[in-house]
Amino acid sequence: MISIIFKNNLIAQLKKRRTLVVGFVFWAVCGSCFAQLFGAPSAPEPSTGLYKKSLVTFKSQGVAAANPLAVEAGFAMLKLGGSAVDAAIATQLVLGLVEPQSSGIGGGAFALVHDAKAKKLRAYDGRETAPAAAKPERFIGSDGLPMKYYDAVISGKSVGTPGTVALLETLHKRHGKLPWKKVFEPAIELAEKGFPVSPRLHEVVKLDRFLKDDAAARAYFFNEKGESWPIGHPLKNPEYAKTLRSIAASGSTAFYSGEIADAMVNAVRDYTDVAKRGDLTQTDLANYQVIERDPICFSYRAKKLCSMPAPSSGGVAIAQMLAALERFPMAQWGANSLDTVHAMAEAGRLAYADRAQYLADPGFADVPKGLLDATYMKSRGALIDMTKSMKRAEPGTPPGIKVALAADPNIALTGTSHISIVDKFGNVVSMTTTIEDIFGARKMVRGFLLNNELTDFSMRFEENGKPVANRVQAGKRPRSTMAPTIVYDAKGAPEIVTGSPGGSAIANYVLKTIVGMIDWKLDPQAAIDLPNFGSRNGPTELEKGTPVEALKPALEARGHTVSVIDFTSGLQALQRTYDAKGQPTGWRGGADPRREGMVIGD
């Protein structure tokens, strides 16, 4: 009911602006999907049911993100003549307010920016970084064993130096058109006047086991009776507005030094249990650097795709899986068929085996370029036997390995958000942004939550006497699976802009969406709506309550161990449209029904 009011208010506002909006119809809430929040973190954000969406079409500029208010803020920047980057910043700053469980200025992000004028794609790494005092045995308890996952998450030790503010500033300096202060206005206004608590925010606050333990989070997210604010409650966050005002006035230095920095440093130490105290310092914050990296580009069915390089494993995994699938008649097999699920799960096993062995921060570990070597990838794909599952893949030996390190033994660990934007100048942003687990480290400072990104490192630092590639080291960035991705058309213009949250399952979510659009010729909404499935080199995982669940017996007959789980992706995808002669006609976009996102464009 309240969700409908929330929707109607928004749509009324949007109609006033004559934007084209279709979708955001609240469909159904599944009341029994929350088991994962309490068990092993196979998916870091719980399901809160489905919010049915419809395809959106638009002419030249549009924003897709995980919350309507954030999308509206980004779109408002485009209407003012801003660039895709201006829109991405405004969207991110509002997401940090209205979807604080997933991303915010206390976290990190990766952004791909296609600069139309320069005809160049740039990849920006704003990943959180381990403090200078961090040591490989960071997550080993006094008993000599790796800490329990949530003991590590809910502690100052999981907090890395946040990168998002520096990233937004770098993006703006390079690609912004509107004044820096302008892009802060929507978030500041909403934080001061209050925003309606969304159905998903209401649910995830209610369900979280740890959020109440932090005094600042308790005071903000709960009413005086300790209950999650009701859906539609106008929640104000004056502290966040104050933080944003400082950054808007003085730039990222207001975040990385001075009062806000001091507050973060104090917060990570604020635990009575000494073992939980973190070690982030003012120097770590002052030294934070955004890194511009070369995007990784590869081809699939004659199209060029580009994604995020290491320290993300997502782009490499997607490249490897697509290379393995290219020899199969995916178009003929179609979505949700036994052969499709078998082949994609096997491709996943191979890619995730390499991910565990080789992927880490390239400034610290040897990430062989040979992982993307065409002959190597083909030879890996040749290992797929359509009659039986390999069950568990071993890593391959790509050309050019310099140092043999050990694999990350965390095979299937499972808050993040994705933003896709195009502007009328032809620029494109694909940005995946995170605070890692839902509500991050559950530590609130100055109106925002601190990340727990350092638990993306391996808890074990050596295996069989060899150092683990993704072990904790001072100043290192933890391995990620975030895969903001852009597919190019034959003329070199961006054709598909996509990405997703979902922890280590991100590569599988993005893969499904790309295959859906390229092989099955689905529109972005239909591709996103497809069931999620795949393998992270553990069991073959099928999304609960979807048509692929019915494949379980047939997959088992081919030797798969099958696990049926909630798979809360948060895909957003924009796709260019063409006429019969191949001339571009406009865009269409979709948002994931598993979250509250939407697309607005005109």
Distances from the Cα of 187 to the Cαs of 93, 238, 248, 429, in angstroms?
A: 6, 11, 11, 19
Q: Indicate whether 152 belongs to the interface with ligand DON (CB under 6 A).
A: no
| Closer CB to ligand DON, 86 or 436, in the complex | 436
| Closer CB to ligand DON, 93 or 482, in the complex | 482
**Minimum Å distance from CB 346 to ligand DON?**
22
Q: Indicate whether 311 belongs to the interface with ligand DON (CB under 6 A).
A: no
Q: Sign of torsion, CA 279 282 287 293?
A: positive
Q: Indicate whether 566 belongs to the interface with ligand DON (CB under 6 A).
A: no
Q: What pairs with residue 589 in β-bridges?
A: 56, 574
Build a one-symbol-per-residue string for 45-84: x at contacts with ligand DON by CB under 6 A, - elsewhere: x---------------------------------------
Query: Where in 459-571 does DSSP place strands (E)?
Result: 462-463, 466-467, 485-488, 494-499, 533-535, 540-543, 562-565
Q: Indicate whether 551 belongs to the interface with ligand DON (CB under 6 A).
A: no
Helix (H) or strand (E) holding 56: strand 56-58
**Minimum Å distance from CB 128 to ligand DON?**
9
| Closer CB to ligand DON, 418 or 576, in the complex | 418
Question: Which one among 480, 485, 525, 532 touches ligand DON, defined by CB under 6 A?
Answer: 480
Q: CB under 6 A: which stretch of 144-152, 368-376, 379-387, 480-488 binds ligand DON?
A: 480-488
CA angle, corner 432, sides to 218 and 377, nearest 5?
135
Give CA–CA dist 480/416, Å, rounded.
Answer: 11
Going by C-alpha positions, the residue among 545, 526, 556, 496 that lies closest to residue 55 is: 526
**In this structure, what token pair is assigned to residue 349?**
């096993």
Question: Which one among 67, 433, 481, 575 touches ligand DON, defined by CB under 6 A?
Answer: 481
Q: CB under 6 A: which stretch of 130-138, 328-336, 475-483, 547-555 binds ligand DON?
A: 475-483
Question: Which one among 482, 518, 573, 599 touches ligand DON, defined by CB under 6 A?
Answer: 482
Q: Indicate whether 503 belongs to the interface with ligand DON (CB under 6 A).
A: yes
**Minimum Å distance from CB 585 to ligand DON?**
33
Question: Which one among 502, 534, 539, 593 touches ligand DON, defined by CB under 6 A?
Answer: 502
| Closer CB to ligand DON, 7 or 479, in the complex | 479
**Which one-letter amino acid corresponds to residue 6?**
F
| Closer CB to ligand DON, 510 or 517, in the complex | 510
| Closer CB to ligand DON, 88 or 188, in the complex | 88
**Minimum Å distance from CB 352 to ligand DON?**
13
Catalytic residue among 416, 434, 498, 513: 416
* Interface with ligand DON in residues 400-429 (CB under 6 A): 415-416
**Minimum Å distance from CB 375 to ligand DON?**
28
Size of the residue set binding ligand DON (CB under 6 A): 15
Give CA–CA dist 482/500, Å, rounded.
Answer: 7
Q: Indicate whether 163 belongs to the interface with ligand DON (CB under 6 A).
A: no
Q: CB under 6 A: which stretch of 82-90, 199-207, 398-406, 477-485 binds ligand DON?
A: 477-485
* Interface with ligand DON in residues 426-455 (CB under 6 A): 434, 436, 453
3-state SS record for 447-482: CEECCCHHHHCCCCCEECCEEECCCCCCCCCCCECC
Q: Indicate whether 575 belongs to the interface with ligand DON (CB under 6 A).
A: no
**Minimum Å distance from CB 438 to ligand DON?**
7
Q: What pairs with residue 113 in β-bridges?
A: 122, 429
Is the N-terminal amide bond of 311 cis, ω within 30° of 0?
A: yes
**Minimum Å distance from CB 178 to ligand DON?**
29
User: Could you tell me which residues come within 8 angstroms of residue 16 by beta carbon, excluding any fewer than 6 positions away?
Assistant: none
**Minimum Å distance from CB 479 to ligand DON?**
8
| Closer CB to ligand DON, 123 or 518, in the complex | 123
Catalytic residue check, 48: no
| Closer CB to ligand DON, 232 or 501, in the complex | 501
The answer to whether the CB of 354 falls within 8 A of the CB of 320 is yes
Give CA–CA dist 157/151, Å, rounded.
Answer: 10
Q: Sign of torsion, CA 468 309 598 248?
A: positive
Question: Which one among 125, 214, 346, 456 touches ligand DON, defined by CB under 6 A?
Answer: 456
User: Could you tell me which residues come within 8 angstroms of residue 575 by beta carbon, excluding any fewer than 6 positions away?
Assistant: 495, 496, 497, 517, 523, 524, 587, 588, 589
Q: CB under 6 A: which stretch of 170-178, 465-473, 499-507, 527-535 binds ligand DON?
A: 499-507
Going by C-alpha positions, the residue among 135, 155, 160 that lies closest to residue 277 is: 155
**Minimum Å distance from CB 25 to ligand DON?**
23
Q: Indicate whether 208 belongs to the interface with ligand DON (CB under 6 A).
A: no
The answer to whether the CB of 563 falls within 8 A of the CB of 40 is no
Going by C-alpha positions, the residue among 66, 64, 99, 65 that lies closest to residue 203 is: 99
**Minimum Å distance from CB 289 to ligand DON?**
18
Build a one-symbol-per-residue string for 210-229: x at contacts with ligand DON by CB under 6 A, - elsewhere: --------------------
556-557-558-563 Cα dihedral, nearest 10 degrees: 0
| Closer CB to ligand DON, 319 or 555, in the complex | 319
Which 8-state DSSP code applies to residue 102? Answer: T
The answer to whether the CB of 42 falls within 8 A of the CB of 564 is no
Q: Indicate whether 104 belongs to the interface with ligand DON (CB under 6 A).
A: no
Q: CB under 6 A: which stretch of 83-91, 196-204, 342-350, 502-510 binds ligand DON?
A: 502-510
Beta-sheet pairing, 562-565 with 120-126: unpaired
| Closer CB to ligand DON, 343 or 367, in the complex | 367
**Minimum Å distance from CB 411 to ligand DON?**
14
Helix (H) or strand (E) holding 172: helix 164-175
Going by C-alpha positions, the residue among 352, 295, 355, 350 that lies closest to residue 324 is: 350
329-332 contact pairs (CB < 8 A, 24+)? 330/515, 330/519, 330/520, 331/519, 331/520, 331/521
- Using CB under 6 A, list all residues that contact ligand DON: 44-45, 415-416, 434, 436, 453, 456, 480-482, 501-503, 506
Catalytically active residues are 416
